[in-house]
Amino acid sequence: MTLRTHFLVLAVSATLGGAALAAEPPAASSDSPEADASLYGQSVTLPRQAAACAERIADYMPRFQKVYDAWRRDNAARIESGGRYIRDQAAKGGVNADEGMARLAGADVERLRKTSLELLTRHCDLMLESLAAPAATN
């Protein structure tokens, strides 16, 4: 998958509706570099989305942090691999991967800040559920 294609996939994912984005389990089911890159992307964007959830939902951040820390620990090697893959692909294309990921995460946050409390709550609850789902076996 080319860098442009991968960032296009990430950009499309970032623009999907909140429930659709959160409904996908963060633990990818494939051991491909692209699946690892997806885990890395989620490791970057989910905490920013959680911060937006915490702005309007009392006690959200401690609940998120608990499941996120476990998910990140369970997927640490794949997240690290995915980060390397994204940065390598970005370097080949002359793109700053960290800036691109920050822009995608920022777009998610802005979208969440503009949504209704009902949809925000649904999205944030789905994030918690998907993070707590059993990790894919490697």
Question: Any idea where the domains of the chain sit in the sequence?
Answer: 3-11+31-132
Could you tell me what percent of the chain has a pLDDT over 70? 75
Q: pTM higher than 0.85, yes or no?
A: no
Largest CA distance in the chain: 43
Distance CA 58, CA 78 (A): 32
Q: What is the pLDDT of residue 8?
A: 38
* Model confidence pLDDT, tens digit, residues 55-66: 999 999 999 999
pLDDT at 88 over 80: yes
Reduced to 3 states (helix: H, G, I; strand: E, B; else coil), residue 57 is coil
Q: What is the pLDDT of residue 121?
A: 97
* Model confidence pLDDT, tens digit, residues 60-85: 999 999 999 999 999 999 999 999 99
Distance CA 124, CA 49 (A): 8
Instruction: Tell me how crowded residue 134 is: count the other CB atoms within 10 A of its CB.
Output: 8
